[in-house]
Amino acid sequence: MNKLEKGNIRLLNAWAFYDWANSVYSLVISTAVFPIYYSGMTSSFADIDGEITFLGTQWTPTTLYDYTLAFSFLIVAFISPILSGIADYTGNKLKFLKAFCLLGSLSVMSLFFFKDQSTLWVAIVFTITASVGFWGSIVFYNAYLPEIAYPEQQDNVSARGFMFGYTGSVILMILSLVLIQTNVFGYLDEAYGSRITFVLVGLWWLGFAQITYSRLPNNVYGHKPEKDYIWKGFRELKKVAKEIVKHRALKRFLFSFFFFSVGVQTIVLMAGIFGSEELGLPTTNLIMTIMLVQIVAIAGAFLFSRLSNKLGNLTALKITLAIWCVVCFIAYMLDKDLERVDIYFYIMGGILGLVLGATQSLARSTYSKLLPETEDHATFFSFFDVTEKIAIVLGMSVFGLLISITGSMQLSVLFLAIFFLISFVILSTIEGNKYVN
């Protein structure tokens, strides 16, 4: 196949299509089906105190799951800068993207074998490797953005990726609900339907990724690595770290990204638990809200990509941060005794969806536009990814600590508004370039 030139619409669409492939992991595995399946399965073999045994230690199921995810984020935060330095030096971003995608998709399919207490280790081990595969692949996927799109294209292309992702994940989520809620051909119960869904997610992810692989270039700059490429990869990493420290706008943006990621990722990860435990909403309402968020996020990503073209990335991002503060305030005002609380929860989900895709899309494209002239895109984006992972660990820790101190999720969510305000202030101090202002 002939190499597609930078900016070619077929190349841009192929890159964006990886979001279609991988986003089913975010919705079905991270957010909706697997957490619910895990909760139901572990409750079936928990003791009278609601605890389960793993590695000879007693755990509450939620705590074990939270620690499992946090451990996976720490693994990615540790290995992605090292591997990205090697990828940039050798020019093999595509190979790393394929490897992490394969790890993630096979791990998701392996969750099919988690069906009782004796297979709890399957859930823990493959939750970790699936998360590492997903987030690891995202590092190298994002790093392609400045190589396949010109700065003036990057907002729209980044948004297109998220729009593809939300659309694809909603389609597979609907199919998953059919499998889970109905007795297909008379032999699937809800638990078995959920397990079949995990296999479908892995096949979807790996299968549609082939479209992206067929068009993405490899070794764009024609690197010819020497034998000691591992140590030269470390030197590549050190060079980029120094570059970020010197680049004031890039450094400030990473700080801002860190603070709003604390708020965004914590709210996304805890929204289901907030609706279930704090508001007492049934599973059906929660899944409907999750679907609403995904659908509205498609429109939000499109709307704010156009808005950023007119007002600039930094202004558009600040608008989303202000709206996130509104989401925190609405969550604080909600109470299970409030009449028609489910309707208000849907409204909050709609507002959240409007800015979720927009914030993530604009963060990716803004960072890409702020990068200096470089061939080390994977290494630069690994710092972007590590910033987000550390933010998630901090956000979950702060949220849990505040709940233990105040005894209220509402107050904990309201406190997250402080992170958005700090991020807003930092963004206001950035003097970027013509592509982001």
Render pLDDT for 104-163 as a digit per residue (tens, 0 to 9).
Answer: 999 999 999 999 889 999 999 999 999 999 988 988 898 888 888 888 888 889 889 989
Calculated CA dihedral for residues 22, 25, 26, 29, nearest 10 degrees: 180
- The DSSP H or E segment spanning 94 is helix 93-110
- Ranges 47-51, 352-356, 430-434, most confident: 352-356
The helix (H) or strand (E) run that includes residue 165 is: helix 151-181
DSSP bridge partners of 58: 53
Helix (H, G, I), strand (E, B) or coil at 58: strand
Q: What is the pLDDT of residues 13-45, one digit of tens each?
A: 999 999 999 999 988 888 778 887 888 888 888
Residue 57: strand pairing partners = 54
Q: H or E element: which one contains 22?
A: helix 9-24
Which tokens hold the place of 145?
Answer: 């953005």
Domains and CATH numbers, the chain: 9-219+230-428 (1.20.1250.20)
What pLDDT is recorded for position 227? 55
CA distance 226 to 238: 18
- Amino acid in the structure at residue 213: Y
Confidence of residue 177 (pLDDT cuts 50, 70, 90): confident
DSSP string for residues in 355-402: HHHHHHHHHHHHHHHHPPS-S-HHHHHHHHHHHHHHHHHHHHHHHHHH
**Cβ-Cβ contacts under 8 Å for 107 (sequence gap 6 or more):** 126, 127, 129, 130, 133, 202
- State the pLDDT at residue 13: 93
Rg (CA), the chain: 21
Residue 52 pLDDT: 85
Token readout for 268 is: 């996304």
Give the tens place of pLDDT for each residue, 308-350.
Answer: 888 888 999 999 999 999 989 988 888 877 788 888 888 888 8
Q: Is 171 a residue whose pLDDT tops 90?
A: yes
**What's the pLDDT band for 293 if we cut at 50, 70, 90?**
confident
For all residues of the chain together, what is the average pLDDT?
84
Considering the chain, what percentage of its residues have pLDDT values greater than 90?
26
> Averaged over 402-422, what is the pLDDT?
83
At 10, the pLDDT band (50, 70, 90 cuts) reads very high
- Please state, in angstroms and rounded to a whole number, the distance separating the CA atoms of residues 349 and 17: 25
Distances from the Cα of 360 to the Cαs of 21, 36, 142, 264, 332, in angstroms? 17, 25, 12, 9, 23
Average pLDDT over residues 87-112: 89
Spell out the residues 6+ positions from residue 109 whose beta carbon is closer than 8 angstroms to its own: 198, 199, 201, 202, 203
C-beta separation of 202 from 106 below 8 A: yes
The pLDDT value given to residue 79: 82
pTM, full prediction? 0.83
Phi–psi pair at 7, nearest 5 degrees: 90, -10
Residue of 93 and 270 predicted with greater confidence: 93
Compute the distance between CA of residue 61 and CA of residue 46 in angstroms, rounded to an integer. Answer: 8
Q: How far is CA 10 from the centre of its chain?
A: 25
* Among 322, 418, 359, residue whose Cα is nearest residue 158: 359
